[in-house]
Structure 1
């Protein structure tokens, strides 16, 4: 198992609407006109709200005008510092967040507005941020999820160079209190090599169509051996069709009927920082559970020549929900608790297996494309010391 470092895509932001921040020319008079001044102040505030809303829609949704929730306005919003951003600068700003991060930050703002329907301006009040933490706590969000949502609110303030209420002492203490009252524990178990083989055999009894048995066998072995996330190979929605592993991104090497390796190209993945794809090469082995042979056999028996690599007979992409459902059936049939094994268990199992084989921490981190010590949570054997 080997892979190149994870690299990622940059997406461009359209330039900000500079005209939205301009003030119309005003005829000078010898006497102050309070009505005119008030009207200009209102127009300026409206322009600020409009410009900021456009910016937030762009940052969070990837294009202007998307998103069902209105963005906040900000009377103290530094218009001049953002109005003159050129296209290159906006593109760099867009590249700082992945598509998944933009969606998550948008969801955080939507959640905040669900709690405080009157929220329409920045900076947020300290009281509203504290109550937001309490709101999420009551909704039984995990401590890590609460911290992530608060971090999203912080991002808004930092982006606009506004005072950040999330960095105050009381907010830090509230987050610490959440961690103590809601200790996070990942209860997912690893799909080890032995369990993987049992699940593949169980599919013969739980899946009626032979081609789907072969499909799931190839998919399970690929996810395990390449440390893949399930969402990198199967779709969660129709919109993901072009974002999962494609037919043209799978290349076999060696004898036409008996390849010795396979190379896959993952063009969209969680840890992308630039536009370069992730290339993973998997070496074949012998026996019934060789990932290269399973993928090659599935490729020969499936009729599709383009689109997602994993498709049903009718050409529709294999869905995340289908795989999760079939995985639960196989796990139950094999005598395990389906609540403890999920799609991510392949990735946890791969890290655990690599540790058992004596791979170093840095090597496992490279194979799994972890950018931090998050891999420590994935290795589930007491004998492996990090």
Structure 2
């Protein structure tokens, strides 16, 4: 999420205030006006920040101090949460407009009816499936509560009618979580084999995706964590016991540590083979990025149109690799977007793009892309580690899990007979 400038254009600030006024009042009966929707998608400040309070700060202090306060208030929630809350608030205000109800402050019965209607909604493309899960409906209720709280209003979701409605939805719609299938080691090798061919322009994505898949798997990283990595976050080190090379990946904010209070580090050891070695993959990809920095797209073309050592000499590069000078504090994305012409963008891939990448390779391999996603790499680590005999403590350390029950679920999935009395029945 981009911070607002303390010296932003007054007309832009006025437009943002007008936009906020539009989404916190009841819209026209049909729906929110299209300009309001478009503006809401582009706005960088939080829908949870009370603009009237900030205006009071401007009157008591000055614009710069108000802008400083606004930036920190906007940073209180993650970008993903804010994006979801914006979408949820638009949907609720549009529904209120259609039903002739008031969105702010909302009547608790109106909120309960809105959630109940959402629970009964079916997918247009698949009428046999529900459109919204209980978890999504709970998030919608949280968004309504958050916007009310930001405006100094009592939350309608704390009333008994809303709480009982959500409880009833959970009881009526009991179902196992729709977990993505884990990418275990054999599946990972299958996905790696489906990368584009070497050479230019496909060799750019080939190298980037090798590192992404290996890092996500060995590091048990979430798709948002992968997308957020910069070259400054990765360092080449060595195992103090064996002297073998390894990568150390530093994570700042994570899903369970959004304020980055804990300095999470993830170690990625050398692989047994060059094709599954994260250090070799990093060396290969960093070389492409170095050439791109110094010679642009023509330089990358010249590099990849020559002899590619990844193909002509598939040996380990990691023993002599010492790192890259791209880790210079400029926060270059480790996984930038790459187009079909092999052009490397300055922006990083999104978390959604990471999930789509896994699905795309699964489909190429003849697997069902619907059951795979970005989380498949993280769950695949836990499942493969359990199959290899790792303890739950070891799995939790690498995956930064704090709840042992989550890890036990992966272990049961990997080997349902592990520590199970059924093996002693003598059948």
Pick from 227, 233, 236 the counterpart of residue 252 of structure 1.
236
Query: Which residue is 1:197 aligned to?
Result: 189
Query: Match of 1:265, SS?
Result: strand
**Alpha-carbon separation, structure 1, partners of 2:368 and 2:399:** 25
Alignment of 1:232-311 (within 5 A): 232-234=225-227, 244-253=228-237, 260-275=245-260, 278-288=264-274, 289-302=276-289, 303-305=291-293, 307-311=332-336
Give 1:334's match in structure 2, choosing from 340, 365, 376: 365
Conserved? CA contact 2:216–2:377, under 8 Å: yes
129, 134, 138: which one aligns with 1:143 = 134
Tell me whether 1:125 sits opposite 2:107 in the alignment: yes
Within 1, Cα distance between the matches of 2:265 and 2:273? 25
> Could you state the TM-score of these two structures normalised by the residue count of structure 2?
0.60
How far, CA to CA, are the matches of 2:150 and 2:357 in structure 1? 44
Q: 1:100 to 1:361 in 2, by over 3 A?
A: same
Structure 1 residue 314: deviation in Å?
2.1
Uncovered stretches (5+) of structure 1, i.e. residues with no partner: 1-8, 15-48, 54-60, 235-243
Q: Aligned-pair RMSD on alpha carbons?
A: 4.8
For 1:34-53, list aligned pairs within 5 A.
none
Cα offset, 1:233, TM superposition: 3.0
Structure-2 change in CA distance of 1:108 and 1:275 (3 Å): same
Q: Distance in 1 between matches of 2:190 and 2:198?
A: 12
Q: How does 1:22-61 map to 2 (within 5 A)?
A: none
Within 2, Cα distance between the matches of 1:107 and 1:229?
23
Q: Match of 2:194, SS?
A: helix
| Whole-angstrom CA distance in 2 between matches of 1:247 and 1:262 | 12
Deviations 1:116-157 (A, max 9, x none): 125556442122111210232215111111011112222344
Relative to structure 1, is the Cα distance of residues 290 and 73 closer, same or farther in structure 2, using a 3 angstrom cutoff? closer
Instruction: Please give the TM-score of this superposition, normalised by the length of structure 1.
Output: 0.66
> Structure 1 residue 268: deviation in Å?
4.8
Distance in 2 between residues matched to 1:146 and 1:281, nearest whole Å: 37
Task: Give how far 1:340 is off.
Answer: 1.1
Q: 1:201 to 1:159 in 2, by over 3 A?
A: same
Please list, as runs of the form range in 1=range in 2, the aligned pairs for 1:368-383 lying within 5 A after superposition. 368-370=399-401, 372=403, 380-381=413-414, 382-383=416-417
Q: Matched residues in 2 for 1:318 and 1:94: separation?
A: 22
Cα displacement (A) at 1:205? 6.8
Instruction: Please state how far the C-alpha of 1:108 moved relative to its aligned partner.
Output: 2.1
1:171 Cα offset (Å):
2.1
Q: Residue 177 of structure 1 corresponds to which residue in structure 2?
A: 168
1:274 to partner: Cα distance: 2.2
Offset, 1:90: 6.9
- The alpha carbon displacement at 1:179 in A equals 2.2
The CA distance in 2 between the partners of 1:332 and 1:65, in whole Å, is 35
Higher normalized helix content (fraction of residues): 2
Q: Bigger shift: 214-223 or 175-184? A: 175-184
Number of residue pairs matched?
A: 325
Show the counterpart of 1:155: 146
Residue by residue over 1:267-299, the C-alpha shift from the partner in whole angstroms, topping out at 9 and shown as x without a partner, is 454334325664333222321312122222222
With a CA cutoff of 8 Å and minimum separation of 6, indicate the structure with the bigger relative contact order. 1
Question: In 2, Cα distance between the equivalents of 1:248 and 1:70?
Answer: 32
- Determine the C-alpha separation between the residues in 1 that align with 2:60 and 2:83: 26
- For the pair 1:101 / 2:101, whether they are aligned, the reply is no
